[in-house]
Amino acid sequence: MLSLKLPQLLQVHQVPRVFWEDGIMSGYRRPTSSALDCVLSSFQMTNETVNIWTHFVPTWYFLWRLLALAGGPGFRAEPYHWPLLVFLLPACLYPFASCCAHTFSSMSPRARHICYFLDYGALSLYSLGCAFPYAAYSMPASWLHGRLHQFFVPAAALNSFLCTGLSCYSRWVPRPLRLFLPPPSFLELESPGLSKVLRTAAFAYPFLFDNLPLFYRLGLCWGRGHSCGQEVLSTSHGYHLFCALLTGFLFASHLPERLAPGRFDYIGHSHQLFHICAVLGTHFQLEAVLADMGSRRAWLATQEPALGLAGTVATLVLAVAGNLLIIAAFTASLLRAPGTCPLLQGGPLEGGTQAKQQ
């Protein structure tokens, strides 16, 4: 009979520093795992298992929502619905990319970086995807046809390039960008504080920009209830913003494992909670977009022309191509790094007792 042996798990001091997680002391997979070992590890309890499944299952949920909406009568044929479909595509992509990154990141130190480069690119495209329905359905009345409205989606596309570039840079600094940093430049290991700031800013800025219409409408309606007409926000908007705030807090704080290292290695650490809050935030964001689509449709029909399919597709294709080029540049630089670099070796490294921050 065919028997499969589950991969052996390691302690933090048995893996290279590049694999360390802040406050996580055990449950690490072998840093030179095969692809099969990585897949098998998703069926045993490691410190990555819940990370994998909290994004694998939501991938299918958002795909189901996409197919259910797109399969509705006349849905795809009506231009009014296209921005919603563009939003749902990266909403399906980013949890799947994250699931793959957490699954295969233990194949090697280089593979770990490349997996997360792709993960960051998917998140960047998700930030762009959010801009399409916000520009189409959620703009304040006073912003319609204004300069910000006209450039909202193109600016979000540029933000996605910044997001991908900064987040990849926070891991690995290519030779042309090293400036005063000595080679090899693994920024998250050599300057973990700066790396954390850059990565947090890389995702906080696009979020703040995308949600400017909501913040403005929230300010107009503060304390006025439903008396502010088309500017009123649904409760789903509030849930989405709350989940986003909680997601950012968990990402930056590394709580609760920072307070009790080793106690939350397998269940309950911040990255698992971060995943759950992010997925819940996307769910409420979808519900909020659907609420704006329905409640503002008749009013929007008198205010602005339908969004052109050609412009929508062109912006999305250029953004995908640009983000892939950025990822390819960082990946090529990483692959050219000397194999003798100790930070790229598969064995454990000496020194230090603090696990790194992802």
Among the residue ranges 118-122, 140-144, 353-357, the one predicted with the least confidence is 353-357
Q: Which has the closest alpha carbon to 241: 268, 217, 271?
A: 217
Give 356's pLDDT tier (boundaries 50, 70, 90): very low
Please report, to the nearest 10 degrees, the dihedral formed by the alpha carbons of residues 91, 56, 249, 90 taken in order. -10
Contact between residue 44 and residue 7 where contact means Cβ atoms under 8 Å apart: yes
Residue type (1 letter), 102 = H
Token reading at 284:
């409420």
- 63 is a domain residue: yes
Residue type (1 letter), 300 = L
Find the mean pLDDT for residues 101-129: 96
Find the mean pLDDT for residues 141-149: 90
Give the chain's mean pLDDT.
Answer: 88
Q: Which domain holds residue 174?
A: 27-69+84-233+280-336
Looking at residue 58, its pLDDT comes to 98
Among the residue ranges 107-111, 179-183, 320-324, the one predicted with the least confidence is 179-183
Q: Is the pLDDT higher at 310 or at 59?
A: 59
Residue 352: pLDDT over 60: no
Looking at residue 197, its pLDDT comes to 92
What is residue 226's three-state secondary structure?
helix
Looking at residue 78, its pLDDT comes to 84
Contact between residue 163 and residue 131 where contact means Cβ atoms under 8 Å apart: no
**Tokens 């399919």 label which residue?**
309
Find the mean pLDDT for residues 258-285: 97
- 309 is a domain residue: yes
**Helix H segments across the chain?**
35-41, 49-70, 82-104, 109-137, 147-169, 187-190, 192-210, 212-221, 235-253, 270-301, 309-335
Looking at residue 282, its pLDDT comes to 98
Label the pairing between strands 28-29 and 9-10: antiparallel
Looking at residue 357, its pLDDT comes to 40
- 117 is a domain residue: yes
CA angle 266, 342, 262 (to 5 degrees): 20
Distance of alpha carbon 29 from alpha carbon 183, whole angstroms: 28
- 266 is a domain residue: no
Distance of alpha carbon 196 from alpha carbon 192, whole angstroms: 6
Distance of alpha carbon 153 from alpha carbon 164, whole angstroms: 17
Find the mean pLDDT for residues 294-322: 81
Give 175's pLDDT tier (boundaries 50, 70, 90): low
- 17 is a domain residue: no
Residue 159: pLDDT over 70: yes
Token reading at 317:
């294709």
- 290 is a domain residue: yes
Quote the number of domains for the chain. 1
Distance of alpha carbon 305 from alpha carbon 79, whole angstroms: 10
- In Å, what is the CA distance from 199 to each residue of 28, 187, 188? 23, 11, 10
Looking at residue 192, its pLDDT comes to 85
Token reading at 244:
């986003």
Find the mean pLDDT for residues 232-260: 95
| Cα 192–chain centre separation | 20
| 258: DSSP letter | T
Distance of alpha carbon 301 from alpha carbon 25, whole angstroms: 57
Give 152's pLDDT tier (boundaries 50, 70, 90): very high
Give 307's pLDDT tier (boundaries 50, 70, 90): low
Distance of alpha carbon 165 from alpha carbon 187, whole angstroms: 13
Looking at residue 225, its pLDDT comes to 55
Residue 340: pLDDT over 70: no
User: What sign does the dihedral 224-226-229-233 (CA atoms) show?
Assistant: positive
Residues 22-33 have pLDDT tens digits of: 999 999 999 999
Which residues sit opposite 28 in a β-bridge? 10
Residues 196-237 have pLDDT tens digits of: 999 999 999 999 999 999 999 998 887 665 567 778 899 999
Q: How many CB atoms lie within 10 A of CB 318?
A: 13
- 31 is a domain residue: yes
Looking at residue 208, its pLDDT comes to 97
- 271 is a domain residue: no
